[in-house]
Structure 1
Amino acid sequence: MTAHMFVPTTPTPWNVPAARPAPAKPHPHPYSRTPGRPRWERGASPYEGERLRPLTRGQVEDRLQELGDLYAKVSGDGPWAWNQARGAFLRHLAADVRRPGFSLLIAETTALTGCAYGFPAGGAGPWWEGFDGHLPESLFRRAASGRLFVVSGIVVPPRVRREQPDRAWNLARRFQRRLLADHGAVLGVTLVDARDHRAVEALRSWGWRSAGDDTLTAVPPGPFRVLVLVPGT
């Protein structure tokens, strides 16, 4: 098993015709200044109203198609998203849901707006396949203690990457904190394709750091990058 992080991007495959841009509509910029503080600093985030709740294993299996639809919509809502991307997401999710301790959170208002999921890492077993050669020995020791949590996926709308990703109310950060807190983890870990620069940058903006790389400037060898997350981030 390879715990790929599913952070939706918006790919533009060569065989998908580009959509004709819609006429621009004037609207106030979300960070435009008004008298006093900037809009995003005044009061609570409008996205704090999204309720987070866990799904049981059975509920996840019952809602697989709905979760796949969510992934396709936030991935660009085009033919590529509804076919290749959606299929890959569902295959990985169906494999993860069978793992001991698997946990999936959804965010919803009147509709499903996001999800995040993962599972605790044990001292032995197949969870580490794909991490081999990338994970520092210190993290394997933490896994042996049962306090390392693998975050397999964070599925959120593009605005969660764009709008104040460093804020505590950011939906991705809320997902992360809840997953780690619910499992008493001392550290979160994930594996991401090193070529997926948008996913790497999104995760960094939400507090993830490269394992064993404090400066974040060196790129570890190999096709994948291991990122770690401290609880409370």
Structure 2
Amino acid sequence: MTVHTPGHPVTSRPSPLGRHRISSEESVPHPRRRGAPPEEGEFVRPLTRRQVDDRLWELDELYARTSSCAPREPAYVGPSGQDRWTAFQQRLADHIRRPGFELLVAEAVGPSGARDLTACAYGFPVHRGGSWWRDLDGYLPEDLLDVAHADGLFAIADILVERRVRTQDQARDWNLARRLQKRLLAGHTGAVGVTLVDRGDMDSYRALLAWGWRPSPTETWATSRFVSRRLLVLR
């Protein structure tokens, strides 16, 4: 999970564009009730690729103020915050071209009807011959190889959520990260979620475990301490 410090650069965009009003054709979440779960008032919906393009700067700003959940790309990440930010942009630009790409956003609606982006998660099916198939080589346990050969794996590549989502009520079904990852898998009956997390990124690793992910059963410290990333599975 890439944690961004207050010193991380933020995109410069006109502030009025950061709020979107909901049209009468769109679903509106119920107003937050006193004592209701925090995420109950946030509406989760998919974006088309064109909508992702139109809102790239908002996604950039979301990344700048949140933590990114697996994978962190060692080839892209440099010593400065700007490098981490650029890594997200390059990673998203690469992943959005993959067949079956899906991106969900969570939005909170204020009293005036303005809608603010609060979280995001995206992923794609893992197809044989693709780069993610090659990235998983050597990580998959035997029980997932048949699933993989049948194109039954779905990679959840990034989850961007506020710190409260990573540290509070992680096991609750209404936890926003759990809602996002469950929704991504819901359209792929029987699919197994997979992700790779940097071995040194313990913040991401602990958060993902709290959200229901499990490490590969074949991984042991003796055999895996020399590889750079961990495979986590979500069923």
Superposition TM-score tier, normalisation by shorter sequence: 0.7 to 0.9
| CA RMSD, 1 decimal | 2.6
1:87, CA displacement in angstroms?
A: 1.0
- Give me the whole-angstrom Cα distance separating, in 2, the residues matched to 1:99 and 1:128: 12
The answer as to 2:56 corresponding to 1:57 is no
The one-letter code sitting in structure 1 at the alignment partner of 2:42 is E
Distance 1:75 1:226, change over 3 A: closer
Aligned to 1:112: 117
Q: Is residue 70 from structure 1 mapped to residue 79 from structure 2 by the alignment?
A: no
Higher percent of residues as strand: 2
Q: Select which of 220, 226, 232 maps to 2:224.
A: 220
Q: Is the 8 A contact 1:123 1:141 kept in 2?
A: no
Structure 1: gaps spanning 5 or more residues: 1-6, 17-41
In 2, the alpha carbon distance for the partners of 1:172 and 1:68 equals 18
> For the residues of structure 2 that align with 1:174 and 1:129, how far apart are their CA atoms?
29
Range that drifts further, 129-138 or 173-182: 129-138
Shift of 1:127: 2.2
Task: Say if 1:123 and 1:140, in contact at 8 Å, map to a contact too.
Answer: no
Corresponding position: 1:180 with 2:185: yes
Other-structure match for 1:37: none
Q: Does 1:9 align with 2:15?
A: no
Tell me the secondary structure at the aligned position of residue 50 of structure 2.
Answer: helix
Instruction: Report the more deviating stretch, 127-136 or 88-97.
Output: 127-136
Q: Deviation at 1:129?
A: 2.5
In structure 2, how many angstroms separate the alpha carbons of the residues matched to 1:94 and 1:169?
30
How high is the TM-score relative to the length of structure 2? 0.74
- Give, in whole Å, the separation in 2 of the partners of 1:148 and 1:196: 23
Give the Cα separation in 2 of the matches to 1:120 and 1:208: 17
Q: Establish whether residue 122 from structure 1 lines up as the match of residue 121 from structure 2.
A: no
Q: How far did residue 224 of structure 1 move?
A: 0.6
Correspondence 1:171 to 2:185: no
Which stretch shifts more, 122-131 or 161-170?
122-131
Which deviations, in whole Å up to 9, do the C-alpha atoms of 1:32-60 show, x marking residues without a partner?
xxxxxxxxxx9530211110000111111
Task: Answer whether contact 1:71 1:86 (CA < 8 A) is retained.
Answer: yes
Matching residue's letter, 1:90: Q
Q: 1:124 to 1:139 in 2, by over 3 A?
A: farther
C-alpha separation in 1, matches of 2:193 and 2:222: 21
Secondary structure of the equivalent of 1:111?
A: strand
Aligned to 2:145: 140
User: Taking every aligned residue pair, what percent have the same amino acid on both sides?
Assistant: 48
Matched AA of 2:224: P
Q: What are the ranges of 5 or more consecutive residues in structure 2 without an aligned counterpart?
A: 9-33, 69-79, 109-114
Of residues 152, 156, 164, the one that matches 2:161 is: 156
CA shift for structure 1 position 100:
0.2
Alignment correspondent of 2:16 = none
